[in-house]
Amino acid sequence: MNPGSAAARVKTIALECGASACGIAAAGDLAEFERFAKAAEAVPAGLAYLGREPLKRKNIKNWFAPARSVLVCAFSYWGPGRDYTAELAAAGDLAAYLKNTGRKAYQPDLLAAPGAKISRYALARDYHLTVKEKLGLALAGIKKEFPGAEGKIFCDTSPVLEKELGRLAGLGARGRHTLLVSGELGSWFFLGGIALDLELPADAPAADRCAGCGRCVKACPTGALKGGALDAGLCISYWTTQAKEKLPAALAAKTGGFAYGCDLCQEACPLNKKTR
């Protein structure tokens, strides 16, 4: 099988196993690492883990030595046909719901407040489990199709620059809210992938889709988005999902009701109004 046909088959397997979209990036040094490393020096305490094993993030081969290509997959978790208000109501008691889905909320006072909301991504089973299961099926399918092939799965918790690999694989461009934005999926998707020892041709990086638009920046109530970067110390999502300290009063007044995660910047994105 020639490399182009092999890449197409690998993508087909991923889509059959539940990916909404996928692409191939080359395994190698990432220029984006320099920006990431600098940003990681200034993150709040709850994100200190981003500074661990930094060189593994520079090149995925430092994490999985046999890697030659990276299959990066997007898993859509929301779309315009969903009714957020109805699904939020169906979740019932939010503190109990989050606990039952394996999540820990760090700002219980916000959860207990009338009209409390949680991010759309949390209105389902823990995505780490779901995405890894789908990627596991994809890897098994790839090994069956290509005997002797090896790979290693990543989803959020591994020292991998997923967003940059996703951009290079053509899944989306980096938006001003720092998330990848796709013309088909908007930004309502999870990222995960498989480092593979197969030599596959890389896809073309995604084109910028945010030219002339700054709605996400304007929608952030705390001013956490500046110059295409995120100040995590001002981010409502950081404070409600990872920070162990009590949310400062000045920020608590600007949550827009969000008590776990925050969707305000994504709600403002026009590309999220017409996703498939």
* Statement: residue 41 has pLDDT above 80: yes
Give mean pLDDT, residues 240-244: 94
What is the band of 145 on the pLDDT scale with cuts at 50, 70, 90? very high
d(CA 11, CA 6): 9
What is the band of 91 on the pLDDT scale with cuts at 50, 70, 90? very high
3-state secondary structure of 269: coil
- 203 in active site: no
According to the model, what pLDDT value does residue 110 have?
96
Q: Sign of the CA dihedral 105, 258, 182, 19?
A: positive
Instruction: Catalytic residue, from 29, 93, 156, 208: name it.
Output: 156
* Statement: residue 243 has pLDDT above 80: yes
pLDDT, tens digit, for every residue of 150-202?
999 999 999 999 999 999 999 999 999 999 999 999 999 999 999 999 999 99
> What is the pTM assigned to this prediction?
0.94
According to the model, what pLDDT value does residue 207 have?
87
Residue 34 DSSP one-character state: H
According to the model, what pLDDT value does residue 3 have?
73
What is the band of 131 on the pLDDT scale with cuts at 50, 70, 90? very high
DSSP assignment of 163-231 equals HHHHHHTTS-EEPTTSSEEBTTTBT-EEEEEEEESS--PPPPPPPP--TT--HHHHH-TT--EETTEE-
pLDDT, tens digit, for every residue of 99-120?
999 999 999 999 999 999 999 9
* Statement: residue 269 has pLDDT above 90: yes
* Statement: residue 142 has pLDDT above 90: yes
* Statement: residue 31 has pLDDT above 90: yes
**CA distances in angstroms from 66 to 27, 169, 194, 266, listed in the order given:** 10, 19, 12, 37
Q: How many CB atoms lie within 10 A of CB 90?
A: 10
* Statement: residue 67 has pLDDT above 90: yes
Instruction: List the structure tokens of 121.
Output: 């991504």
> Mean pLDDT lowest for which of 12-16, 43-47, 243-247?
43-47
What is the band of 263 on the pLDDT scale with cuts at 50, 70, 90? very high
In the chain, what percentage of residues exceed pLDDT 90? 85
Give mean pLDDT, residues 53-61: 93
